[in-house]
Structure 1
Amino acid sequence: MKPKILVVDPVKSLRNILCQLIQSMGYDVLEASSGAEAIRSYQNNYPILTTMDLNMPDMNGVDIIRKIKEFDPEANIMMCSALEQRSMIIEGIHAGAKEFVSKPFHENNMKETMRKLLLV
């Protein structure tokens, strides 16, 4: 069974792009389009990495990060969102996210960041 990576993003087309990229790296993918779904999926699957958009329909990404980190302090989370959300990015780092990749992302940058986090 391959290790799993959880992709949390409300936009299906962006989830699809990330899922294809992750699968090309040899990992299985879990998807979540809401905060509640992300938390439930994390608790049921313990993915080795979670990519988190900060703009979710039911709660903001920082709150989702906090809830996942309460459940699993060792959770490996990277934010993937627009740069204009600087204050939320800082909050996300304080909440326990380990990295940030700006949207729109470059495939090589995303892969490099994921590989770095997966080696930790």
Structure 2
Amino acid sequence: MARILIIDDAKFMRMTLTNILKKANHEIVGEGENGKEAIELFGKLNPDLVTMDITMPEMSGIEAVKVIKKENPSAKVIMCSAMGQQKMVVEAIEAGAKDFIVKPFDEGRVLDAVNRVLS
């Protein structure tokens, strides 16, 4: 069981991920809507894992990953992207993300990524 922070500007996407992860007995320790909140919440909650949307208002997921990884080199982040954002996914991985999942979320794929990154 892991403590997971979910960052996505869409409430529906956060709910979807929460349902998938809770079913697999993970604990959702917090939720945020943009990169700034991600950095703030990460510092406060120190989660085992963060799922982070790439495209968000105020600060993108990629910018947030860079800051989080600089402050916490061992941070584990999985990026969430819409189809057709391959270039951004590559950027996110270069910035320190460990894996990515594509929307709409496939339960199996989400859990595979989470288990891989946590192990």
Displacement of 1:45: 1.0
How high is the sequence identity, in percent, across the aligned residues?
A: 36
Paired amino acid for 1:16 = M
- TM-score normalized by structure 2? 0.93
Paired amino acid for 1:92 = A
Structure 1 equivalent of residue 64 of structure 2 = 64
Kept in 1, the 8 Å contact 2:80–2:102? The answer is yes
Paired amino acid for 1:38 = A
For structure 1, the 5+ residue unaligned runs are none
Paired amino acid for 1:69 = K
For structure 2, the 5+ residue unaligned runs are none
Displacement of 1:110: 0.6
Deviation per CA, 1:55-94: give whole Å up to 9, x if none: 1111111101001101100000111111312221111011
Distance change in 2, residues 1:3/1:115 (3 Å): closer
Structure 2 equivalent of residue 102 of structure 1 = 102
The secondary structure found in structure 2 opposite 1:6 is: strand
Q: Distance in 2 between matches of 1:86 and 1:25?
A: 28
- TM-score normalized by structure 1? 0.93
How much is the aligned-residue C-alpha RMSD, in angstroms? Answer: 1.1
The secondary structure found in structure 1 opposite 2:70 is: helix
Aligned residues: 118
Paired amino acid for 2:116 = K
Q: Distance in 1 between matches of 2:105 and 2:46?
A: 25
1:1-120 correspondence to structure 2 within 5 Å = 3-29=2-28, 30-119=30-119
